[in-house]
Amino acid sequence: MKFAYSFREATENELTIAGGKGASLCLMYQAGIRVPDGFVILATAFENNNVKQEAKADILKCLDSLPDVLFAVRSSALSEDSTKTSFAGEFESVLDVKKVDVFSAVSQVAVSAKSQRVSEYSRVHGVDGDHKIAVVVQIMIKAKISGVLFSADPITGSHVNMVGNQVFGAGEQLVSGENNAYPFTISRLGAKYQGDKSFAVFAKAMHRTVEKLESIFGCMLDIEWAVDDKLYIVQARPITTLQTIDYDTYEINQSLDTDALWTSNNVGEAVPDVMSPFTWSMLHEMDMECQKVPGYYMFGNICGRTYTNISIVISMLKAIGYSSAKSQELIADIFGHIPSGLEVPVYPFGRFEIIKETVARSKKSLKRMRDSKKQKAYYLERTPVWYVETLEFIEKAATKEELLNLWVSDVRPFLSALWNIWFGGAGSLTLSTLRSRLVKMVGEEQANLLCSNFSGGNPLVSMQPLLGIEQVVSGKLDREKYLELYGHRSPHEFEVYYPYPADDPDYVDKQISEYRKTGINPAELLKKQTEVFEKAKKEFIREYPAKQKWLEKKLAKVSQDASTRESLRNEFVKVFRVMRHLLLKIGAVTGVGDNIFMMYCFEVPKFLQGDCGMLDQLPVRRTNFEKYQKLPPFPMFIRGRFNPEEWLASNDRRQDYYDINAQKLVSGENLIKGFAGAPGTVEGKVHILRNFDEADEFQKGEILVTTVTNIGWTPMFPKAAAIVTDIGAPLSHAAIVARELGIPAVVGCGNATTVLKNGDLVLVNGSLGTVTKK
């Protein structure tokens, strides 16, 4: 390896020791971006911040290949211009350097790594102060105009406009403040320019260049540029204020890099816990498998908690012609109603571009889904057998080679296959469409009653853990078979960090004890609700006799889809329990123990192949994971950049939404509004459960008030007189199961757990979606 390389010849190997600036200039030059020509002197060329004697020949060769002009000699420390720290202006730059003075300027820049300001910056940012430095030598552009441009707003994270500042002359005047700067914007959609007319002629070229740069670097960028008669890019680095994750430490907040509306509805029900590093990375990999818009992902991680970026969904719908109001209406059954006054930031997706990109990117994922869906029956039949066999294989595995083979050839691909089937089908939109139609025809209460019999003639899989205990008590099902069939269903079923019920030897005894103590017969509840459903169906047919066949056909389809969807989810969850056991075995065989859950999914096979580079980082990841676990659940809706500490300290803190730009939402002092989840009216005393671990404290006949429920909560539902949740929508678990059991429910209230107190007497109206304090 040489000590110096021209921008055009540096390869991937050299870029690792070329520093952030040097590497980015080489990448841009080789990608065809107009970059002033030059070369990079690698960090290996320096010893004690002085140029090694043996490096001078390579430097001189690179210098001789360039014309006799003035040069800019700039630092490219290995810690500089990274995703974590920019070190902007901290290291030395020497401008207008004559060719004969380049070596002197290089030495001046290299020595700046030991300067006081660099040491102080390093201390403040927790960075090692011993900086290895590379140096860039580049033809100096005599700029008529120069400036900086951020490809997203560095303050709000908005992607709508690229924002910048310009000065006349050299860019150093902008940094130093010697000259007044002129602000400008270029809209991402349409490249519309607003700013001083001197730069207007270059706006479209800048817009095209930025889009190309983002495709190269895969992130939003802080760009320095200069214009003589043409536009040149002299530097590009990530916008450090928009970086959302430190993989080394698991410090993560994906609300920071974009102005978007996030919700925990729906996905927060499936994953209500703080995610371990492993689980988050697994979810992200599955998200990438189904990604539709380049650079945008549906699921986000805000300090360990799962959120869906509904700005993406709304933006896509608006791009193909739906109004904002209609778009919100279309997603309401899945993600809930967006609070009045809460603005939905929209991404600048163009109609043609979004259709083109979506179609192109959908082809592969749709093919995967089609191929998997053809095998739906196979996986529904095969997974129960695979589940038992694979747990046995894991128990017997004793070497890293065996465990790696299980991971690569069996467990991980099995998870992807089931994910594509579950994500790609199962028809929840069929129910949403039917319910919306019925609401318009007969009102919300009757519509909910007509949608309260998804199980048809057979109970949904999500109901079977509850009904199965009854079978164990009656002797129709033994304990071991119960755990095999239902021991993977849990309040934490998509988080592999927590044990599953089948891992608890006392679990069945606890469920039997609870069943006998309550004296409630779940099968009788189902039968009673079926009778209510049949009555509602007869009333509908009496009012709309011509719609009888239509209704029966639609209800049959909804019932079939619901059964398939729940069955697929049931099998999908089994893979997570298998994954947990595989990880525990890897931890036992390698000596890592349960720190294995602090690894990312993509690190596990590398670790089994001998890469131990991540081991030193696992303790600090655990520290941050446990810090996130101590924080309370965040608001159901989050708009923009969210700081948990500021939210916790706020006197106006709400659980339903967070938006520093929104006006305060006013509601009646004694009235809480949510979704009509399951019809019926009941009065009772509130019992707030912060998590399922408190379930033993709940008494029969109380009103269950909690943040969110999932299938793991089902066994306690029959004890509740009514159910009220902060998070949820008409298609959420709490609403579906409550309707099946005939228990009034109001879901998606947002702030029920903060407004209500234990012992409050309330009237729950599941038909209207209201909770009234008496």
Q: Is residue 175 part of a domain?
A: yes
Q: Is residue 731 part of a domain?
A: yes
Taking the C-alpha atoms of residue 594 and residue 563, their distance in angstroms, rounded to an integer, is 36
| The predicted structure's pLDDT at residue 177 | 42
Q: Is 713 helix (H, G, I), strand (E, B) or coil?
A: helix
User: Looking at residue 61, which CATH number applies to its domain?
Assistant: 3.30.1490.20
Residue 188: give the domain boundaries. Answer: 142-243
> Residue 722's Cα: distance from chain center in Å?
32
**Based on the domain organization, do 65 and 174 belong to the same domain?**
no
Taking the C-alpha atoms of residue 428 and residue 557, their distance in angstroms, rounded to an integer, is 11
What value does the mean pLDDT take over residues 493-522?
A: 92
Sequence-distant contacts of 23-31: CB under 8 A, at least 24 apart: 23/76, 24/81, 24/217, 24/235, 24/236, 24/237, 25/136, 25/138, 25/235, 27/216, 27/217, 28/213, 28/216, 28/233, 28/236, 31/212, 31/216
- Tell me the HSE value of 609 on the side-chain side, using a 13 A CA sphere: 8
The H-or-E segment that residue 100 falls in is none
Structure confidence by residue, pLDDT tens digits, 182-231: 889 999 988 999 999 999 999 999 999 999 999 999 888 999 999 999 99
Quick check: 732 and 755 in contact, CB under 8 A?
no
| The predicted structure's pLDDT at residue 371 | 65
**Based on the domain organization, do 679 and 768 belong to the same domain?**
yes
Task: Say whether pLDDT at 717 is over 90.
Answer: no
Please give the residue that has the higher pLDDT: either 298 or 403. 403
**Based on the domain organization, do 206 and 124 belong to the same domain?**
no
Last residue of a domain, one of 243, 271, 289: 243
- Single out the residue of 758, 672, 685, 750 nearest to residue 720, CA to CA: 685
| Phi and psi, residue 4, nearest 5° | -145, 140
**Based on the domain organization, do 101 and 210 belong to the same domain?**
no
- CB atoms near residue 154 (< 10 Å): 16
Q: Please, is 585 exposed, middle or buried when counting C-beta atoms within 10 Å of its C-beta (0-12, 13-18, 19+)?
A: buried
**Based on the domain organization, do 132 and 42 belong to the same domain?**
yes
Q: What percent of the chain has pLDDT over 70?
A: 89
C-alpha dist (Å) from residue 594 to 390, 500, 587:
20, 15, 6
Taking the C-alpha atoms of residue 107 and residue 110, their distance in angstroms, rounded to an integer, is 5
Task: Say whether pLDDT at 281 is over 90.
Answer: yes
- Single out the residue of 153, 158, 344, 159 nearest to residue 262, CA to CA: 344
Summary count for the chain: helices (H), strands (E): 27, 28
Residue 268: band (very low, low, confident or very high) from pLDDT cuts 50, 70, 90:
confident
Please give the residue that has the higher pLDDT: either 175 or 483. 483
**Based on the domain organization, do 60 and 155 belong to the same domain?**
no
- Single out the residue of 428, 421, 410 nearest to residue 376, CA to CA: 421
Q: Is residue 28 part of a domain?
A: yes
Quick check: 634 and 644 in contact, CB under 8 A?
yes
- Single out the residue of 465, 494, 466 nearest to residue 272, CA to CA: 494
What value does the mean pLDDT take over residues 535-560?
A: 92
Alpha helices in 375-407 (DSSP H): 376-396, 400-406
- CB atoms near residue 438 (< 10 Å): 20
Task: Say whether pLDDT at 12 is over 50.
Answer: yes
Task: Say whether pLDDT at 286 is over 90.
Answer: no
What residues does 747 pair with on adjacent strands? 675
Taking the C-alpha atoms of residue 696 and residue 684, their distance in angstroms, rounded to an integer, is 19
Quick check: 113 and 131 in contact, CB under 8 A?
yes
Taking the C-alpha atoms of residue 769 and residue 8, their distance in angstroms, rounded to an integer, is 65
Taking the C-alpha atoms of residue 163 and residue 153, their distance in angstroms, rounded to an integer, is 6
**Based on the domain organization, do 13 and 116 belong to the same domain?**
yes
**Based on the domain organization, do 59 and 116 belong to the same domain?**
yes
| The predicted structure's pLDDT at residue 242 | 74
Structure confidence by residue, pLDDT tens digits, 389-418: 999 999 999 999 999 999 999 999 999 888
What value does the mean pLDDT take over residues 507-526?
A: 88
Taking the C-alpha atoms of residue 588 and residue 582, their distance in angstroms, rounded to an integer, is 10
Quick check: 716 and 696 in contact, CB under 8 A?
no
Structure confidence by residue, pLDDT tens digits, 477-496: 999 999 999 999 999 999 99
Task: Say whether pLDDT at 296 is over 60.
Answer: yes
Provide the b/e sequence for 115-141 (b: ≥16 CB within 10 Å). eeebeebbeeeebeeebbbbbbbbebb
Task: Say whether pLDDT at 95 is over 80.
Answer: yes
Residue 82: band (very low, low, confident or very high) from pLDDT cuts 50, 70, 90:
very low
What residues does 290 pair with on adjacent strands? none
| The predicted structure's pLDDT at residue 445 | 84
Comparing 469-483, 643-657, 755-769, the range with the smallest average pLDDT is 643-657
Q: Is residue 462 part of a domain?
A: no
Over the chain, what is the mean pLDDT? 87
Q: Is 168 helix (H, G, I), strand (E, B) or coil?
A: strand
Find the angle CA(571)-CA(575)-CA(577) to the nearest 5 degrees. Answer: 110
Provide the number of structural domains found in the chain.
3
Provide the b/e sequence for 552-570 (b: ≥16 CB within 10 Å). eebbeebbebbbbbbbbbb
Got the DSSP string for 406-420? Answer: HIIIIIHHHHHHHHH
User: Looking at residue 167, which CATH number applies to its domain?
Assistant: 3.30.470.20
Got the DSSP string for 311-349? Answer: HHHHHHHHHTT--HHHHHHHHHHHH-PPPTT--------
The H-or-E segment that residue 517 falls in is helix 507-518
- Single out the residue of 299, 274, 283, 279 nearest to residue 628, CA to CA: 274
Last residue of a domain, one of 223, 243, 263: 243
Taking the C-alpha atoms of residue 141 and residue 143, their distance in angstroms, rounded to an integer, is 6
Q: Is residue 688 part of a domain?
A: yes
Find the angle CA(685)-CA(689)-CA(695) to the nearest 5 degrees. Answer: 100
Q: Is 763 helix (H, G, I), strand (E, B) or coil?
A: strand
Please give the residue that has the higher pLDDT: either 705 or 568. 705
Tokens, residue 362:
């959908």
| The predicted structure's pLDDT at residue 89 | 47
**Based on the domain organization, do 15 and 112 belong to the same domain?**
yes
Taking the C-alpha atoms of residue 291 and residue 278, their distance in angstroms, rounded to an integer, is 20
Lay out the sheet containing 4-6: strands in order across.
4-6, 38-41, 133-139, 71-77, 93-97
Task: Say whether pLDDT at 354 is over 80.
Answer: no
C-alpha dist (Å) from residue 691 to 1, 203, 694:
58, 53, 6
Task: Say whether pLDDT at 440 is over 60.
Answer: yes
User: Looking at residue 701, which CATH number applies to its domain?
Assistant: 3.50.30.10
- Single out the residue of 301, 311, 317, 315 nearest to residue 268, CA to CA: 301
Task: Say whether pLDDT at 83 is over 80.
Answer: no
- Single out the residue of 104, 72, 5 nearest to residue 45, CA to CA: 5
| The predicted structure's pLDDT at residue 362 | 58
Q: Is residue 92 part of a domain?
A: yes
Last residue of a domain, one of 243, 277, 299: 243
C-alpha torsion sign, points 288, 294, 299, 302: positive
**Based on the domain organization, do 96 and 177 belong to the same domain?**
no
What residues does 76 pair with on adjacent strands? 134
| The predicted structure's pLDDT at residue 85 | 46
Taking the C-alpha atoms of residue 40 and residue 17, their distance in angstroms, rounded to an integer, is 10
Question: Tokens 């209800």 sit at which residue?
Answer: 555
Task: Say whether pLDDT at 98 is over 90.
Answer: yes
Q: Is 360 helix (H, G, I), strand (E, B) or coil?
A: helix
Question: Tokens 């998200």 sit at which residue?
Answer: 287
Task: Say whether pLDDT at 81 is over 50.
Answer: no
pTM assigned to the model: 0.77
The H-or-E segment that residue 236 falls in is strand 231-238
- The residues near 237 (Cβ < 8 Å, ≥ 6 apart) are 20, 21, 24, 81, 82, 86, 221, 222
**Based on the domain organization, do 86 and 189 belong to the same domain?**
no
Q: Is residue 608 part of a domain?
A: no
Q: How many residues does the structure list for the chain?
A: 774
Task: Say whether pLDDT at 317 is over 80.
Answer: yes
Quick check: 749 and 725 in contact, CB under 8 A?
yes
What value does the mean pLDDT take over residues 542-557?
A: 92
- Single out the residue of 573, 583, 565 nearest to residue 384, CA to CA: 573
Task: Say whether pLDDT at 278 is over 90.
Answer: yes
- Single out the residue of 425, 431, 429 nearest to residue 451, CA to CA: 431
Find the angle CA(351)-CA(354)-CA(357) to the nearest 5 degrees. Answer: 145
**Based on the domain organization, do 62 and 150 belong to the same domain?**
no
Taking the C-alpha atoms of residue 737 and residue 745, their distance in angstroms, rounded to an integer, is 10
Q: Is residue 287 part of a domain?
A: no
